[in-house]
Amino acid sequence: MATRKIDTHQHFWNLQTGDYSWLKPEYGPLYRTFEPPELASQLRAAGIDGTVVVQSANSYADTDAMLRQAETYDWIAAVIGWVPLMEPAEATNALDRYSRHAKFRGIRHLIHDEPDPNWVVQDRVLEGLQAVADRGLIFEVVAVFPNNLKHVPALAERFPNLTLVIDHLAKPPIKDREMGPWAGQLAAAAQFSNVYAKVSGLNTAADPEHWSAADLKPYIDHAIDCFGADRLMFGSDWPVCVLAGDYARVWTETNRALEGRSEDEIAALLGGTATRVYKL
């Protein structure tokens, strides 16, 4: 049976019903409502079988909205929500409540927006993460380089039973055509078998006007060298990707960047790994 194709990173938001503090008018095409019907046709065109919808706000309201959408649209295969990690007791109760939902798989916090670059390694946050680990859930790390990726090895070592997923390959400096410290930090994170990463959001780390598969390929190749395809997963980062293209372009150029890889590697990265990690 052919491996399902899974998009492990997409978002929805509604400006009339949700509060997204980071989303400002200066974000141009992103500053509007994005909901499932708009994405569905693009998934069909790309041949995507299912998606993982990921939190866009540090709020219960955002998580509740995603879980309702997952009940309505079968192609939403899993939900990554949010709980208040800084309040461990409350976070534990919220995790128990959300875990009753068949499609809830874990949490994320917008750590890259926190003023403190060491937010994720505070004692109270670590206590909250222990509750995530104890329940066999996923913690997705917005490990934006250079402030956040460096903490992943410490988290992986402290919580060996916690599945950590690095979003967007930690936003490598593609636009500057640099590898350097990013490459070393990603390799350090990959030393831990409980760490995975998403090949997602790379187009918005590149030149928004002129990027192509050739720009992405060195960074994807390095990630495969570090993790192997069986710990990497495709994500579109829709609708954020529209800042530098559209869904079809992200899908097409990612596939072009994988040309020359084995069928098994491509199948793993485009769906096999996600099916296993998110228990789809």
pLDDT of residue 97: 98
Q: Which residue has the tokens 């049976």?
A: 1
Domain boundaries, the chain: 6-277
Contacts 24+ apart (CB under 8 A), 216-221: 216/174, 216/253, 216/254, 216/257, 217/257, 218/179, 219/169, 219/172, 219/174, 219/179, 220/169, 220/254, 220/257, 220/258
Nearest partner of 216 among 257, 249, 184, 245, judged by Cα: 257
How far is 9 from 89, CA to CA, in rounded Å?
28
The phi, psi pair for 141, rounded to 5°, reads: -105, 115
Instruction: List the chain pLDDT tens, one digit each, 280 residues.
Output: 678 999 999 999 999 988 999 999 999 999 999 999 999 999 999 999 999 999 999 999 999 999 999 999 999 999 999 999 999 999 999 999 999 999 999 999 999 999 999 999 999 999 999 999 999 999 999 999 999 999 999 999 999 999 999 999 999 999 999 998 999 999 999 999 999 999 999 999 999 889 999 999 999 999 999 999 999 999 999 999 999 999 999 999 999 999 999 999 999 999 999 999 999 9
pLDDT of residue 83: 98
Contacts of residue 123, defined as CB under 8 A and 6 or more positions apart, other chains included, come to none
How far is 263 from 139, CA to CA, in rounded Å?
29
**Cα dihedral value 35, 37, 38, 39, nearest 10:** 90
pLDDT of residue 209: 87
Contacts of residue 158, defined as CB under 8 A and 6 or more positions apart, other chains included, come to 126
Task: Give the dihedral sign, CA 156/194/206/114.
Answer: negative
pLDDT of residue 1: 63
Which listed CATH number (3.40.190.10, 1.20.1050.10, 3.20.20.140, 3.40.50.1820) goes with 6-277? 3.20.20.140
